[in-house]
Amino acid sequence: MSRKIFPNATEALSGLVQDGMTIMAGGFGLCGIPENLILALRESGAQNLTVVSNNAGVDDFGLGLLLQTRQIKKMISSYVGENKEFERQFLNDELELEFNPQGTLAERIRAGGAGIPGFYTKTGVGTLIAEGKEHKEFGGETYILESGLTADISIVKAWRGDAQGNLIYRKTARNFNPMMATAGRVTIAEVEEIVEVGVLDPDHIHTPGIFVQRILEGQHEKRVEQRTITQRETA
In-domain check, residue 122: no
- Single pTM value for the model: 0.91
Structure confidence by residue, pLDDT tens digits, 161-183: 999 999 999 999 999 999 999 99
| Domain annotation covers residue 48 | yes
Sequence-separated (6 or more) residues with CB below 8 Å from residue 145: 118, 119, 120, 133, 134, 135, 136
143, part of any domain: no
pLDDT in tens, 103-146: 999 999 999 999 999 999 999 999 999 999 999 999 999 999 99
Quote the pLDDT of residue 115. Answer: 97
In a domain, 159, yes or no: yes
Q: What percent of the chain has pLDDT over 90?
A: 85
In a domain, 187, yes or no: yes
Instruction: Report the domain count for the chain.
Output: 1
Within a domain: 124:
no
User: DSSP states of 89-119 as a string?
Assistant: HHHTT-SEEEE--HHHHHHHHHHHHTT--EE
What pLDDT digit, counting tens, does each position of 47-87 carry? Answer: 999 999 999 888 889 999 999 999 999 999 998 777 889 98
Residue 208 belongs to some domain of the structure: yes
158's CB contacts (< 8 A; 6+ apart) are 167, 168, 169, 170, 173, 177, 189, 190, 191, 192, 206, 207
Whether residue 138 is contained in a domain is answered as: no
**Does residue 229 surpass a pLDDT of 80?**
no
CATH number at residue 38: 3.40.1080.10
Domain range for residue 56? 2-117+149-217
